[in-house]
Structures are given as structure tokens and as C-alpha cells.
């Protein structure tokens, strides 16, 4: 279980880095907010 939690945490960190990159590129923001005011 501990190993699984650790791998999940690593995946989450990688995912956060990936979203951060997309947000910098301005690609992910519209999808996350879901609406363009």
C-alpha cells in the first residue's frame, strides 16, 4: 500500500508540473475554467 501511495504521489507531482506547463502555454486554462468570460 505504501509503495502504491508513493507512486500515486509521484504521478500527482508530475501531473501538477504538466498542468503548470500547459497553464504557462495558455492551453489548459480555458479547459479548466470551462467558460470564457
Predicted confidence (pLDDT) per residue in 1-33, tens digit: 677 888 888 887 787 877 776 666 666 555 555
| Domain membership flag for residue 34 | no
Residue 36 has pLDDT above 80, yes or no: no
The predicted pLDDT at position 22 comes to 67
* Domain count of the fold of the chain: 1
The predicted pLDDT at position 2 comes to 76
| Domain membership flag for residue 36 | no
**Residue 2: Cβ-neighbour burial (10 angstroms; 0-12, 13-18, 19+):** exposed
Q: What share of residues in the chain are helix, strand, coil (percent, to 5)?
A: 80, 0, 20
| Domain membership flag for residue 23 | yes
Contact call for residues 19 and 13 (beta carbons, < 8 A): no
The predicted pLDDT at position 6 comes to 80
Range of the domain at 8: 2-29
| Domain membership flag for residue 13 | yes
d(CA 26, CA 19): 10
Structure pTM? 0.34
| Domain membership flag for residue 35 | no
Amino acid at each position: 500500500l505504501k509503495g502504491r501511495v508513493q507512486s500515486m504521489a509521484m504521478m500527482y507531482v508530475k501531473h501538477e508540473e504538466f498542468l503548470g506547463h500547459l497553464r504557462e502555454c495558455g492551453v489548459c486554462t480555458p479547459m479548466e475554467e470551462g467558460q470564457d468570460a
